[in-house]
Structure 1
Amino acid sequence: MLGDRNTHSNHAQGSAIFNDLPTNDAWDLEQLLPEDQVMLDDMPTWKKYARIILPHVGLIILSLVYIIGGAFVFYHLEHPNEMYIRGANLRLIDENRRKMLRNLWLLVNNNTLTREQVEMTVIEHVDNTSRLLFDAFDTHFIAASHLRNPSNLIDHSWTMTTAIFYTTTLLTTIGYGNLVPVTFKGRMFCIFYALLGVPLILITVADIGKFLSENIVWLYGLYANMQKSSKTAPESVDGGEDRNENKEAIIGLDVSIPTSLIAIILLGYMAIGAVLLGTWENWDFFQGFYFSFITMTTVGFGDIVPVKQQFFIFDLFYIIIGLAITTMCIDLVGIQYIQKIHYFGRAIKDARYALVNVGGRMVRVPDLTRVAYMLQQKYGQRKRGSDTLWDGAYAPKDLNRIRYIDYSGFPSIESLTSFVSSILSGKSKDPVKV
């Protein structure tokens, strides 16, 4: 009898809890949100947008400050060393040049030497000069302009512009390798600077990519809804209520972007960059496209790099947006197929696209699980003290394992064919009502 009373008491408590739930619309998520989030509706519009936009803008500003600050440090660590090494090697080249001219003059005025001896001496001087020049061009920050005019103060490897270009390519993990720190302090600073900066820049690029992907999904969703609305417009007026319900169900569905559209966006951006870079770097179209592809994939071989410093800011802008577009493509297409591969052969067939009739309204399975999770968090069972009494509704602990329920013992040939065809076509299946 005591157990029966406890059971009736629990049922009464559960009924009282669910009687407190709003009855006008059981799927109104705003009723499940905390009060501070519901109060957002009472905020002015500019405050709502400010709360949404300011964190993203702040992240971008923080990244810019970090890049420019690091460029300033690298410039002051590496530029003096560049000037010292260049000056020392220019003096060494000049001394070797004077020594060669002096010895050649002595050879010309010495009639006792044979022709073979003169040639061997001249070849030795030429080899020494060539070695010095190759070493200077390779590691000592010397270009042909410095040999013609040793007092040249323009053509420097480390400037604020090149330092910004270096820090950006460093933090985006591209790393062309055409400009690197060579001092001990510069390399030590590079380690700690990249340790914090790489995650920051990758998060910023991913945030921009997420913004682009959401807008692409929104625009494509508008296009898809317009296409479906135009197809259902000629129907008779008798089924108006059914059309409204179908429209709500269609809007609630996940928008699947075709793979072909994403490929067009990515390749089109690379093609535009190939034309622009080819214009101001004197590259042909293939060189520009090759550079864009190597950059967007963060491979960064460094065999082809921009050299016009006056266009470095435009190059960096193009690189950052390109990395964000690449992230967008991964977000829209890559993750979708990774999930399909991960759950292939062990998940419920087409559960993601299924619609469940709940109270006369068609609800997607992912939406159903999300609402159930929110209900569980707010009204679910909780322990009271150290006893075993529970409040609220019961939810199995292994409910999250539903995604692993096999549709059959092994993936069928039909499911394998549909999976491969969905990857090749880039189109999602139509929802299946259950």
Structure 2
Amino acid sequence: MGAPPEKDGCCKTITKFLFSHIGLCLMVVLYCVAGGFIFEHLEKNNEEQICYESRSEYEPMQSKTINSTLKIFYEYGGAITNEQTRDLMVLQLESVLETFRNNTLAIGYNGRWCQLYGQPNGPTYDWSWAGAVLFSVTVVTTIGYGHIAPKTVWGRLVCIAYAVLGIPLMLLCLANIGDALADIFRFIYAKICCCGACRKKKDKDKVTPIKHSESGGQWDNDKKALTEMTGPQIAPLDTNFTRVPSKSPTDSMDMSDTRRLTSAGSRSGGKNKVQIVPLDLKKNDPVILDDDSDSDEEDEDMENRKVTVPLTITMIVIGGYIFGGAVLFGLWEGWDWLQSAYFCFITLSTIGFGDVVPGRDFDNPQVQAQLMLGSIYILFGMAILSMCFSLMQEEILAKARWIGQKLGIVEKDAED
């Protein structure tokens, strides 16, 4: 048995909404939020455990380095007699400290006190919920800062599955939103910036055609005969008419009883004679008026799609968005203007070096709010870049076609 019609209609409605502009954006946002909860659950406890393990390896190395340093001072008696002796002692101290530094980097110790995790004055978790959301955004957008990465087995497996599902969803959303924004921006440019100059001017107004049946020719002749008069003027007619009642209130005029009025008069001002001539019209001949309102809207939409936005306009849009992000992150992170602009460009272009990352104090509520706004900035900014790339592609193709037509390589279209 098939599904009920109500269920099928509900499923179609839900599917249509999910693949709409709003539905796709909502799906991406919920996907990133869910990823934040998943990766926080998988990696937060492991982060604390790694801290304890690295701390346990760090403390013996620290004690050994201190003992080696004191031993050097004891060997030289705490006094430096000459410059050669001082240089030798400094060389030994540098060797001990360099060994300590390399060993510390090898175990990945970051100098945090693991017992104070989660405390007001203690170290902050990299895998807090806000940090995990930022990580999810960098995964689905293929930015990949690399400032944090999953260390557990389950975390890495989930990250692979999360990226396999999230990246196509993100690309679909960017393509959908980018095309919609491109249409909106093209419409605004054609209507406001161009002030209508981009549209082709029409020489004549459109005349609504009249479609009729096979007897349309006779209808045109009778209509013409109805308006032709032999005299220069139409004399006043006698107003003594007798009303003929209709057969029923709803009956319209019977076309077989229709009469044609003709007027015959002399040029000397004689009385005009009115003659009633039967018209040869069929009752069932339809007269269809063609409404061109829909075609006008389609023509207008096609004209808007023919408009290409100059490269300078799209570059100004990209530069303006990067400049706005530079001001925003400069206020939040205390970066200078160049560093903020560098971060915005590296992020939106999905290069993602990871040398500059916002909001490292993830336990601060203000920083968490800033990270969420920063994630929205990244997602919307990639949609803006998708829009600009689409417009730039259209402009470049139009210029290449124009050059090809000038060189005779490409034939001109009939509309051109």
Select the residue among 303, 318, 326 that pairs with 1:274. Answer: 326
Task: Give the CA deviation at 1:152.
Answer: 3.8
Select the residue among 165, 175, 200 that pairs with 2:144. Answer: 175
Letter of the 2:182 partner, please give it: S
Q: Per the alignment, in what secondary structure is the counterpart of residue 116 of structure 2? A: coil
Verify the 8 A CA contact 1:225 1:251 in the aligned structure 2.
no
Whole-Å Cα distance in 1 between the matches of residues 409 and 359 of structure 2? 52
Letter of the 1:289 partner, please give it: A
Task: Give the CA deviation at 1:280.
Answer: 1.3
Q: Which has the larger radius of gyration?
A: 2
Aligned to 2:24: 59
Task: Give the CA deviation at 1:256.
Answer: 1.8
Aligned to 1:316: 375
Q: Per the alignment, in what secondary structure is the counterpart of residue 205 of structure 2? A: helix
Select the residue among 38, 42, 45 that pairs with 1:73. Answer: 38
Task: Give the CA deviation at 1:251.
Answer: 6.3
Letter of the 1:165 partner, please give it: L
Whole-Å Cα distance in 1 between the matches of residues 372 and 98 of structure 2? 41
Whole-Å Cα distance in 2 between the matches of residues 86 and 230 of structure 1? 66
Say if 1:131 and 1:266 are closer, same or farther in 2 by CA, change over 3 A: same
Letter of the 1:317 partner, please give it: I
Q: In the TM superposition, what are the counterparts of 1:117-196 in structure 2 within 5 Å? A: 125-136=96-107, 139-140=108-109, 142-143=110-111, 146=112, 151-153=116-118, 154-196=123-165
Whole-Å Cα distance in 1 between the matches of residues 316 and 200 of structure 2? 26
1:391-413 CA-to-partner distances (Å, cap 9, x unmatched) read: xxxxxxxxxxxxxxxxxxxxxxx
Say if 1:264 and 1:252 are closer, same or farther in 2 by CA, change over 3 A: same
Letter of the 2:323 partner, please give it: A
Task: Give the CA deviation at 1:174.
Answer: 0.8
Aligned to 2:175: 206
Task: Give the CA deviation at 1:335.
Answer: 4.4
Verify the 8 A CA contact 1:266 1:326 in the aligned structure 2.
yes
Task: Give the CA deviation at 1:121.
Answer: 7.0
Q: Per the alignment, in what secondary structure is the counterpart of residue 195 of structure 1? A: helix
Q: Per the alignment, in what secondary structure is the counterpart of residue 94 of structure 1? A: helix
Aligned to 1:295: 347
Whichever structure has more helix as a proportion of its residues is 1
- Note if 1:97 corresponds to 2:66: no
Verify the 8 A CA contact 1:90 1:150 in the aligned structure 2.
no
Select the residue among 193, 199, 205 that pairs with 1:241. Answer: 205
| TM, length-normalised to structure 2 | 0.59
Q: In the TM superposition, what are the counterparts of 1:234-383 in structure 2 within 5 Å? A: 241=205, 252-253=302-303, 254-308=306-360, 309=362, 310=367, 311-338=370-397, 349-351=411-413, 354-355=414-415
Whole-Å Cα distance in 1 between the matches of residues 78 and 345 of structure 2? 60
Whole-Å Cα distance in 2 between the matches of residues 155 and 86 of structure 1? 12
Whole-Å Cα distance in 2 between the matches of residues 180 and 208 of structure 1? 29
Aligned to 1:85: 50
Say if 1:98 and 1:61 are closer, same or farther in 2 by CA, change over 3 A: same
Letter of the 2:35 partner, please give it: G
Verify the 8 A CA contact 2:308 2:394 in the aligned structure 1.
no
In the alignment of these two chains, the number of paired residues is 295
Task: Give the CA deviation at 1:192.
Answer: 1.7
Select the residue among 180, 183, 186 that pairs with 1:217. Answer: 186
Q: Which runs of 5+ in 2 are unaligned?
A: 1-12, 209-291
Say if 1:63 and 1:349 are closer, same or farther in 2 by CA, change over 3 A: same
Aligned to 2:5: none
Aligned to 1:37: none
